[in-house]
Amino acid sequence: MDDHHHHDHDDHDHSELSDIELRVRALESILTEKGYVDPAAIDVLVETYETKIGPRNGAKVVAKAWADPAFREWLLADATAAISSLGFTGRQGEHMVALENTPDEHHMVVCTLCSCYPWPVLGLPPVWYKSAPYRSRAVIDPRGVLAEFGVELPKPTRIRVWDSTAEVRYLVVPMRPEGTEGWSEDALADLVTRDSMIGVGLALRPDQVVRA
């Protein structure tokens, strides 16, 4: 516990806050008082990424690619335009490339240098994606990483790792599970997990989802 009480601190409700909480609070106060930021804009930014943008967007893209051969072709040829046609555009998804998994080749995405991730289709990245273990190991030991995620690929399957070192953002199109012929796009989207679109997971099998 904190046994060094800051008696010179007149703002007593800060005493329980950690160093980083105090630093962020100080920054927000200063930047707001100086008129550089509008706290209401920060509220909207946070609300957008907390409630409006997430991997359900990407799941719709993948489901449509599975169900609609013309869309699949468009997605593989010009992912930015194809994804934009579904309304998913903008910040951290300005230049999109879609990567289709096959029995011969499994794609997996990492950003070894920071945390580059396709926000419009997957939302904000999970902590593990930004963490040193994933960023360090994905390029040198992807099979070991996949094993930790419970994914065992046949030995002959080539593992294709994409290190997002520029502003191009990659979306993996996982393989469509068997037994889903004739499914609607909505039903297919329920099989598409976030991890499968990063390439550290597979799409769910029909028996792994509970249909309402």
Site for other proteins in 94-153 (CB under 8 A): 94-95, 97, 110, 112-115, 123-124, 126-128, 130-140, 142-143, 145, 148-149
**Given 29, 114, 131, 136, the catalytic residue:** 114
Q: Decide whether 119 or 183 has the Cβ nearer to other proteins.
A: 119
Assigned token pair, 99: 């990567």
Q: Which of 118, 138, 120, 119 is nearest to 128 (CA)?
A: 138
84 is annotated as an active-site residue: no
Contact string (CB under 8 A) for other proteins, positions 69-88, x = contact:
--------------------
Reply yes or no on whether 164 is catalytic: no
Are 116 and 164 in contact by the 8 Å Cβ rule? The answer is yes
Q: Rounded to the nearest 5 degrees, what angle is found at the Cα of 91, between the Cα atoms of 121 and 175? A: 20
Q: Is the separation of the CB atoms in 185 and 178 below 8 Å?
A: no
Residues between 184 and 203 that touch other proteins (CB under 8 A): none
210 binds other proteins (CB under 8 A): no
Six-digit token string for 29: 């106060």
What residues from 33 to 72 belong to the interface with other proteins (CB under 8 A)?
A: 33-38, 40-46, 48-50, 54
Contact 172, 107 (CB under 8 A): yes
Residue 40 or 179: the one with the smaller Cβ distance to other proteins is 40
Nearest residue to 137 (alpha-carbon basis) of 170, 161, 166, 164: 161
The set of catalytic residues is: 111, 114-116
